[in-house]
């Protein structure tokens, strides 16, 4: 059932509508999970996951216990323009939560979203990195809520769960705001902006059904066994940034293991035909983040390597 | 006057972006004035350029106090300014959400760190800045309520109002907040424009900064003593919302004294031209903020009022 969360009159003709699809099973009021996406208008991975959730749930509603709320586009104007921020305002919507019922039009929208999800048993916020770097399927949780959220995150069939040190600015994210309200919430990251990987999407969708089974919301068959994610903290993640400004050419594949000393890529100067910098691995590990966008300034993120994990040759 | 390169951003396709600082006097790092951080802050850059001009003249006349150094940085994101983009670089980053910055971080973190490392030790920090809502303010000085704010000093600018804002999580990455954390007495100075130049309020801002520097003993400058500022808390302002979206026609001006029920604006249907809504003043007050965009979305804040002050 499609429901409208809030409709706000834009200046000319159109309304900004935030909608969700509520799929109800047995005892619809007993439990509720919210799956949201599209806070950043340049991230589309969540479109496939939400489609696949709706498709599978509608195919076998008899196995669903409770309700699933699917929110494909929390920033519909951004998605329509494929821009990350709120168009016009140029603000990151995921820095506006929990919103303000008495604030600006978009602060009211943010408050309406939080108000609608409040009371759910769980919330998953699906992201797709950005247009600059590609990510493996992973869950990100903040240290502050790790104890409560980690047991759920481990069931998500992702490759990795990354517990981040909390930064003050993250207090304005949807996941943080919902966690403060007592709704266990976490962020799923995968793929790259403006693209969809069906493979990653199916992996995460399978994970959501495993999670629902675990909390008693799904009694149907599961597609596969879930994989155990690598659990990591900031200390195990090696950031590799560009030391120069130019064009980055990777020499390795995403989601592959590298050894200390391996050449990972180079930054080149097209005008002079020169290599400005060779990028070498300082530690062995899994390349879980790889730059997709070729132009880099000094400091741009090129790769992230997950260290301290075993890899069989 | 000395010119120094505060930070340089290189590009394979364009000339380097050199952030320039202009210093006056020698000795203690007394006051730093920073202009445009965002590519649309033209008024803020203009005010700083006029300050550089004025301080150059004052220094030539021996009016900068001995042992005091003033640094003015008129513009940071000149790359953005030259191509009409508000934020920095391809990653579209807001520099004023990256302080104190990080040497090992991304391009914007490094840029913020590069600037902050040069300005963190100044006794007084003055930033000309803009607000995220499209509109005009009555010129005022704004401070974050960090526990280190000093509203008595804000009075010395001689502007009509000094405002104290409770920081939200997003504010913790602004220059003003981080300056205060480093024990710099930090002030954000708002005039009534951003992407266009208003000569009158620019002159008012230049005079306010010079007045402040004079009162702190950093320069000698004969000026009008200005206002005795009224200190207001942001949460005490009355927001006036629109109930509909459409064409916005404001009927009152900044600084205007309105009474309860006064007609403040009309919202006009963009197709048929009729008045969809007349916005009335919800209380007696002085117009402190006014929406300026010709279009408006339902629920937006179109005015902020200071409750009417007793005479």
Chain A hits for B244, Cβ within 8 Å: 9
Are the folds of B2-233 and B237-307 the same? no
Please check whether residues A204 and A258 belong to one and the same domain: no
Minimum distance, in Å, between the CA of residue A120 and any CA atom of chain B: 25
Determine what percent of chain A falls in helix, strand and coil, rounding each to the nearest 5.
25, 35, 40
The alpha carbon of residue B75 is apart from the nearest alpha carbon of chain A, in Å, by 20
pLDDT given at position B146: 82
Once rounded to an integer, what is the mean pLDDT over residues B106-119? 97
Residues 6+ apart with CB under 8 A from B189: B126, B127, B128, B129, B139, B140, B141, B142, B157, B159, B205, B208, B209
Q: B44 forms bridges with which residues in the sheet?
A: none
pLDDT score of B310 more than 60? no
Regarding predicted confidence, which is higher, B222 or A69?
Answer: A69
For residue B83, the tally of other CB atoms under 10 A from its CB is: 9
Taking the CA of residue B246 and the nearest CA in chain A, the distance in Å comes to 4
* Domain boundary pick from A205, A228, A251: A228
Same domain, A122 and A92: yes
Answer yes or no: is pLDDT of B48 > 70: yes
With CB atoms and an 8 Å threshold, state whether A245 touches B10: yes
Residue B171 has pLDDT above 80, yes or no: yes
Inter-chain contacts counted by CB atoms under 8 A, chains A and B? 97
- Touching check for B169 and chain A: CB below 8 Å? yes
- Using one digit for the tens of pLDDT, what is the confidence trace for A2-22? 999 999 999 999 999 999 999
Domain presence at residue A312: no
What is the DSSP pairing of strand A263-269 with strand A246-250?
antiparallel
Model confidence band, residue B130 (pLDDT cutoffs 50, 70, 90): confident
Q: What's the CA gap between B305 and B311, in Å, rounded?
A: 17
Does the pLDDT at position A309 exceed 80?
no
Helix (H) / strand (E) element for A149: namely: helix A146-153
- Same domain as A165, residue A293: no
Residue B150's pLDDT is what?
A: 82
CA separation for the pair B270, B244 (Å, rounded): 12
Residues A134 and A265 grouped into a single domain: no
Calculate how close chain A gets to B65, using CA atoms only, in Å.
Answer: 40
Same domain, A300 and A241: yes
* Confidence at residue A256, expressed as pLDDT on a 0 to 100 scale: 93
Say whether residue B84 is in contact with chain A using an 8 A CB cutoff. no
* A182 and A241 inside one domain: no
**Degrees to nearest 5, angle at CA B103 with B98 and B106:** 55
| Residue where a domain terminates, one of A228, A263, A295 | A228
In our burial notation (b when 16+ CB lie closer than 10 A, e otherwise), range A227-242 reads eebbbbeeebbbebbb
Cα nearest neighbour of A270 on chain B = B12
pLDDT tens for each residue of A127-183: 999 999 999 999 999 999 999 999 999 999 999 999 987 676 688 999 999 999 999
More reliable by pLDDT, B232 or B311: B232
Which chain A residues are Cβ-neighbours of B297 within 8 angstroms? 8-11, 16, 105-106
* Contact predicate B75/B94, CB 8 Å: no
Give contacts of A241 with chain B, Cβ < 8 Å.
104-106
Q: What is the DSSP letter of A65?
A: B
Same domain, A170 and A196: yes
Q: Per residue in B283-308, pLDDT tens?
A: 999 999 999 999 999 999 999 999 86
Using CB atoms, pick whichever of B92, B132, B297 lies closest to residue A9: B297
What separation, in Å, do the N-terminal and C-terminal C-alpha atoms of chain A show?
A: 50
Give chain B as a 3 state SS string.
CEEEEEEEECCCCCCCEEEEEEEECCCEEEEEEEEECCCCCHHHHHHHHHHHHHHHHHHHCCCECCCEEEEEEEECCHHHHHCCCCCECCCCECHHHCCCCCCCCCHHHHHHHHHHHHHCCCCEEEEECCCCCCEEECCEEEEECCCCCCHHHHHHHCCCEEEEECCCHHHHHCHHHHHHHCCCEEEEEECCCCCCCCHHHHHHHHHHHHHHHHHCCCECCCCCCCCCCEEEEHHHCEEEECCCCEEEEECCCCCCEECCCCEEEEEECCCCCCEEEEEECCCCEEEEEEECCCEECCCCEEEEEEECCCC
Instruction: Kindly list the residues from chain B whose CB atom is less than 8 angstroms away from the CB atom of residue A102.
Output: 239
For the stretch A27-58, pLDDT in tens is 999 999 999 999 999 999 999 999 999 999 99
CATH number at residue A61: 3.40.630.10
Identify whether residues A208 and A132 lie together within a single domain. Answer: yes
| Residue of chain B nearest A244, judged by CA positions | B10
Handedness of CA B268, B274, B276, B277 (dihedral sign): positive
- Token couple for B156: 């010395």
Query: Model-level pTM?
Result: 0.92
Shortest CA distance from A177: residue in chain B: B169
Inform me whether the pLDDT recorded for A233 exceeds 90. Answer: no
The count of structural domains within chain A is 2
Q: From the candidates A8, A11, A234, which should be mutated to test the interface with B, based on the most B CB atoms within 10 A? A: A11
Mean pLDDT score of chain A, rounded to an integer? 94
Backbone angles phi, psi at A311, to 5 degrees: -135, 120
Is residue A311 included in any domain, yes or no? no
**B247/A246 CB distance under 8 A:** no
Mean pLDDT across the stretch B188-204? 92
**According to the model, what pLDDT value does residue A266 have?**
98
Chain-chain contact of B245 with A11 (C-beta, under 8 angstroms): yes
Kindly state the average pLDDT of the residues A206-235: 91
Q: Domain B2-233 belongs to what topology?
A: Aminopeptidase (3.40.630)
The candidate with the shortest Cα–Cα distance to A291, out of B102, B14, B79, B90, is B90
In A, which residues are within 8 Å of B88 by CB distance?
A: none
Contacts of A8 in chain B (CB under 8 A): 245, 297-299
- Chain B nearest CA to A42, separation (Å): 12
> Domain limits of chain B?
2-233, 237-307
Could you list the residue range(s) of the whole structural domain that residue A287 is in? 234-306
Model pLDDT, residue A313: 47
Dihedral of CA A4/A8/A9/A12: which sign? Answer: negative
* Rounded average pLDDT over B253-275: 97
Instruction: Read off the tokens for B223.
Output: 């000026």
- Picking from A12, A172, A247, the nearest residue to B169 by CB comes out as A172
Residue A206, classed as helix, strand or coil, is: helix
**Contact criterion met (CB < 8 Å) for B245 and A293:** no
- For residue B113, is pLDDT > 90? yes
Distance from CA of A5 to the nearest CA of B (A): 15
Q: pLDDT value at position A236?
A: 86
Domain boundary among A195, A228, A261: A228
Q: Residue A254 is part of a domain; what is its CATH number?
A: 2.40.50.100
Percent of chain B with pLDDT over 90: 82
pLDDT bracket for residue A1 (50, 70, 90): very high
Dump strand ranges (E) for chain A: 2-9, 15-24, 32-37, 67-71, 122-127, 133-142, 160-164, 185-191, 230-233, 237-241, 246-250, 257-258, 263-269, 274-280, 285-291, 295-296, 301-306
A192 located within any domain: yes
Strand partners, B34: B73, B127
- Mean pLDDT across chain B: 94
Confidence at residue A312, expressed as pLDDT on a 0 to 100 scale: 56
CA pair distance B229, B162, nearest whole angstrom: 6
Q: Looking at residue B309, what is its pLDDT? A: 62
Neighbouring CB atoms inside 10 A of A55's CB total 10
**pLDDT of the residue at A128:** 97
Mark yes or no for CB contact B133/A104 under 8 Å.
yes
Share of chain A above pLDDT 90, in %: 88
What does CATH list as the number for B237-307? 2.40.50.100
Mean local confidence (pLDDT), B144-172 = 88
With 50 as the cut, is the pLDDT of residue A84 above it? yes
B299·A270 Cβ contact <8 A: no
**A175 lies in the same domain as A243:** no
């Amino acid at each position: 059932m499609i429901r409208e969360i809030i409709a706000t009159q834009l200046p000319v003709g159109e309304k900004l509508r935030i909608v969700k699809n509520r799929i109800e099973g047995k005892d619809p009021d007993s439990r509720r999970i919210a799956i949201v996406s599209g806070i950043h208008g340049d991230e589309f991975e969540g479109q496939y996951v939400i489609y696949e959730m709706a498709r599978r749930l509608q195919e076998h509603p008899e196995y669903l216990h409770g309700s699933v709320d699917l929110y494909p586009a929390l920033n519909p104007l951004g998605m329509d323009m494929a821009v990350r921020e709120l168009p016009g305002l140029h603000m990151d919507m995921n820095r506006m939560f929990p919103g303000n019922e008495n604030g600006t039009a978009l602060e009211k929208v943010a408050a309406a979203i939080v108000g609608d999800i409040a009371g759910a048993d769980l919330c998953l916020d699906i992201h797709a990195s950005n247009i600059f770097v590609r990510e493996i399927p992973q869950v990100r949780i903040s240290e502050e809520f790790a104890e409560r959220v980690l047991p759920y995150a481990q069931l998500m069939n992702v490759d990795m769960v990354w517990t981040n040190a909390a930064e003050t600015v993250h207090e304005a994210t949807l996941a943080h705001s919902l966690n403060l309200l007592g709704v266990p919430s976490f962020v799923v990251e995968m793929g790259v902006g403006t693209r969809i990987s069906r493979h990653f999407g199916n992996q995460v969708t399978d994970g959501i059904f495993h999670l629902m089974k675990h909390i008693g919301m799904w009694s149907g068959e599961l597609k596969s066994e879930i994989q155990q994610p690598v659990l990591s903290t900031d200390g195990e993640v090696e950031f590799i940034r560009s030391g120069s400004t130019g064009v980055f050419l990777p020499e390795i594949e995403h989601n592959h293991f590298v050894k200390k000393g391996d050449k990972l890529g180079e930054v080149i100067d097209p005008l002079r035909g020169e290599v400005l910098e060779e990028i070498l691995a300082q530690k062995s590990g899994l390349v879980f983040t790889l730059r997709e966008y070729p132009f880099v300034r000094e400091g741009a993120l090129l790769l992230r390597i997950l260290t301290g994990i075993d890899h069989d040759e | 006057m000395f010119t120094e390169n505060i930070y340089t951003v290189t590009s394979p396709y364009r000339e380097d972006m050199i952030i320039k600082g202009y210093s006056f006097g020698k000795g203690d790092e007394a006051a730093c004035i920073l202009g445009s951080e965002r590519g649309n802050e033209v008024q803020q850059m203009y005010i700083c350029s006029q300050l550089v001009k004025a301080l150059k003249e004052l220094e030539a006349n021996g009016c900068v106090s001995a042992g005091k150094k003033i640094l003015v940085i008129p513009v940071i994101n000149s790359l953005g300014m030259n191509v009409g983009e508000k934020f920095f670089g391809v990653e579209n980053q807001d520099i004023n959400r990256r302080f104190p910055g990080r040497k090992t971080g991304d391009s914007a973190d490094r840029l913020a760190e590069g600037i902050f490392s040069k300005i963190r030790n100044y006794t007084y920090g003055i930033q000309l800045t803009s607000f995220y809502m499209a509109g005009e303010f009555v010129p005022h000085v704004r401070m974050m309520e960090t526990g280190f704010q000093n509203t008595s000093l804000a009075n010395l600018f001689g502007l009509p109002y000094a405002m104290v804002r409770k920081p939200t999580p997003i504010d913790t990455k602004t220059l003003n907040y981080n300056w205060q954390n480093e024990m710099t007495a930090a002030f954000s100075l708002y005039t009534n424009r951003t992407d266009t130049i208003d000569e009158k309020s620019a002159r008012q801002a230049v005079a306010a900064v010079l007045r402040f520097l004079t009162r702190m003993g950093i320069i000698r400058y004969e000026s009008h003593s200005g206002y005795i500022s009224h200190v207001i808390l942001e949460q005490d302002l009355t927001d006036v919302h629109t109930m509909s979206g459409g064409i916005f026609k404001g009927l009152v001006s900044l600084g205007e004294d309105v009474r309860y029920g006064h007609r403040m604006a009309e919202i006009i249907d963009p197709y048929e031209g009729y008045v969809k809504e007349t916005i009335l003043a919800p209380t007696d007050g002085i117009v402190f903020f006014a929406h300026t965009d010709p279009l408006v979305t339902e629920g937006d804040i179109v005015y902020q009022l200071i409750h009417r002050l007793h005479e």
